[in-house]
Amino acid sequence: MVKPFGELVYSPENAPEEVKGKAETHAPKIEAPEKVKAGEAFKVTVKVGPHPSTPEHSIRWVELYYYEEGRAFNPVFVGRAFFAPGYMEPEVTFTMKVQKPGVLYALAYCNLHGLWESRKEIKVE
Amino acid sequence: MVKPFGELVYSPENAPEEVKGKAETHAPKIEAPEKVKAGEAFKVTVKVGPHPSTPEHSIRWVELYYYEEGRAFNPVFVGRAFFAPGYMEPEVTFTMKVQKPGVLYALAYCNLHGLWESRKEIKVE
Amino acid sequence: MVKPFGELVYSPENAPEEVKGKAETHAPKIEAPEKVKAGEAFKVTVKVGPHPSTPEHSIRWVELYYYEEGRAFNPVFVGRAFFAPGYMEPEVTFTMKVQKPGVLYALAYCNLHGLWESRKEIKVE
Amino acid sequence: MVKPFGELVYSPENAPEEVKGKAETHAPKIEAPEKVKAGEAFKVTVKVGPHPSTPEHSIRWVELYYYEEGRAFNPVFVGRAFFAPGYMEPEVTFTMKVQKPGVLYALAYCNLHGLWESRKEIKVE
Ligand SMILES: [Fe+3]
Ligand SMILES: [Fe+3]
Ligand SMILES: [Fe+3]
Ligand SMILES: [Fe+3]
């Protein structure tokens, strides 16, 4: 049976048994405040690894999406960073701002070990 | 409850009732052969719409992934096209090749109407 | 002396002697109409190669820019396609539209052989 | 006469008179060490602005290239960050490493005000 795309995205908690061993080094780690002020800039760091950075095996990119509470259609695609193998480590810091609370999703892609996600709730005061 | 990322990707068959009306104009249409020869180039066209192409509302990009049968970690990220609003219609043709049968996934992102997928099986003779 | 970025982009006619041998296989070929109608969609194909498509050596991506006559600030970035090594050949077709005449630029990047450009004038009737 | 692509990239020192007024808010600022150790990670921050971040007018992305001394073909494309209007400020921090001295180039693209570059030499001890 052909699966929907969503079932192909691994996360630490629902990765199939046979790929779970890669969660620690592939699931992105999100660093962001628990609570932010509406419209005020805050830093978001996404880190993956430790992981090799070679043409044959690297974290090619990370993407950020935001599920915004109360929005009719979600998620919002908010950013992407590409890392050239050999010259970049898989870590990036963005400067973000939101008007409403929601959930921030990070995706990381390894050319050998697939697509991994993690998520973090953002409260707005 | 916070959903996994995969549940945020809409598809024509499992989009929630309230967003289903956008499936026809947002779910990407994949044109590709049913069956290909291992390692031989074939064309893949991904079309979205009809849809506006303005800075306020457009299909920002499409992505292609391949679920390769027998591969330990899936999917493989195989391509992405970005469309500048006002100058590009949301349609792109790539030249692809595969060694093994699998499922080709297309994702399309509208800045107002979210992330939509569709999929197509590729047999290899 | 540190050069401006623009001098690092190779083109068939001004590539330095020592890299000229790579022009034939790296400078993108643009296929597009000589003359188009304002606001009407037309196809633009960008081809590179023949060129390997492996993780160690491939055309990683192509970009399209448009220099629009009469615009205060140029160029407009109009599209980009990324090609995963092993699964994609460096050829892509976009569906474009313009309101004014100008020059279409294609850039192609090879991870071993640098950044190559070509250009084509577009007339509008 | 049709210009080569490189002449379309603005920099603070060689921008034409009529666009020079935008240099302060559009030319990317690179923060990186003067001198690094071969193969050791260092931070590179690229900032643009202050600049609006709306669908009609924003810094859409920045790119990083490295001109590596002694390399036969330059530059190396080392990274790219995309900023969604409304949710991202045009500032990003990457974690980079180099084996050889060279020049780091940052490009920033504003959908209204074109393509801007800046550069910074990196020494290796
Ligand atoms: Fe990996
Ligand atoms: Fe839409
Ligand atoms: Fe090459
Ligand atoms: Fe601007």
Taking CB atoms and an 8 Å cutoff, what residues of chain B touch C80? Answer: 80-82
- Min Cα separation A18/chain D (Å): 31
The owner of tokens 């092993």 is C86
> Residue range C14-38: average pLDDT?
96
pLDDT confidence band for C2 (50 / 70 / 90) = confident
The reported pLDDT for the residue numbered C61 is 98
* B24 burial via Cβ count (<10 Å: 0-12, 13-18, 19+): exposed
> Residue range C97-124: average pLDDT?
98
pLDDT digits (tens, 9 = 90+) for C52-81: 999 999 999 999 999 999 999 999 999 999
Query: Within an 8 Å CB–CB cutoff, is residue D93 touching chain A?
Result: yes
Q: If DSSP codes are grouped into helix, strand and coil, which group holds residue C64?
A: strand
pLDDT confidence band for A2 (50 / 70 / 90) = confident
For chain D, give every domain's residue range. Answer: 5-124
Shortest-distance ligand to the CA of residue B24 = 2
% of residues, chain D, pLDDT over 70: 99
**Residue A54 CA from chain centroid, whole number:** 21
The reported pLDDT for the residue numbered B2 is 86
Q: If DSSP codes are grouped into helix, strand and coil, which group holds residue D84?
A: coil
**Parallel/antiparallel/unpaired status of strands C114-124 and C102-110:** antiparallel
8 A C-beta contact, residue C11 and residue D1: no
pLDDT digits (tens, 9 = 90+) for D40-86: 999 999 999 999 999 999 999 999 999 999 999 999 999 999 999 99
- Min Cα separation D74/chain C (Å): 5
Q: What class has domain B5-124?
A: mainly beta
Query: Within an 8 Å CB–CB cutoff, is residue C70 touching chain D?
Result: no
Who wins on pLDDT, C111 or D18? C111
How remote is the CA of residue D48 from the centroid of ligand 4, in Å?
A: 10
pTM over 0.90: yes
Cα angle at A106 between A105 and A108, to 5 degrees? 150
Q: How far apart are CA D44 and CA A81, in angstroms?
A: 13
How remote is the CA of residue D50 from the centroid of ligand 1, in Å?
A: 37
Neighbours of ion ligand 2 (CB under 5 A): B 110, 112-113
Q: What is the CA radius of gyration of chain A?
A: 15
8 A C-beta contact, residue C10 and residue C110: no
Q: How far apart are CA D30 and CA D39, in angstroms?
A: 20
Query: Within an 8 Å CB–CB cutoff, is residue C111 touching chain A?
Result: yes
The reported pLDDT for the residue numbered C1 is 63
Q: Which of B114, B62, B119 is nearest to B88 (CA)?
A: B62
> Residue range C120-125: average pLDDT?
97
pLDDT digits (tens, 9 = 90+) for A6-54: 999 999 998 999 899 999 999 999 999 999 999 999 999 999 999 999 9
The reported pLDDT for the residue numbered B1 is 63
Query: Within an 8 Å CB–CB cutoff, is residue D34 touching chain B?
Result: no
Evaluate if residue D111 carries a pLDDT over 80.
yes
Mutation to test the B interface, candidates C61, C80, C89, C94, most B Cβ within 10 Å: C94
Which regions of chain B are under pLDDT 70? Answer: 1
The reported pLDDT for the residue numbered C95 is 98
The reported pLDDT for the residue numbered D20 is 94
Query: Within an 8 Å CB–CB cutoff, is residue C87 touching chain A?
Result: no
- Phi/psi for B21 (5° steps) reads -60, -20
Q: How far apart are CA D79 and CA B92, in angstroms?
A: 24
The reported pLDDT for the residue numbered C74 is 97
pLDDT digits (tens, 9 = 90+) for A44-57: 999 999 999 999 99
For residue D51, give Cα distances in angstroms to B8, D47, D121. 31, 10, 26
Which of C76, C80, C87 faces B66 most closely, judged by CB atoms? C87
pLDDT digits (tens, 9 = 90+) for A68-122: 999 999 999 999 999 999 999 999 999 999 999 999 999 999 999 999 999 999 9
Who wins on pLDDT, D59 or C1? D59
Evaluate if residue A1 carries a pLDDT over 70.
no
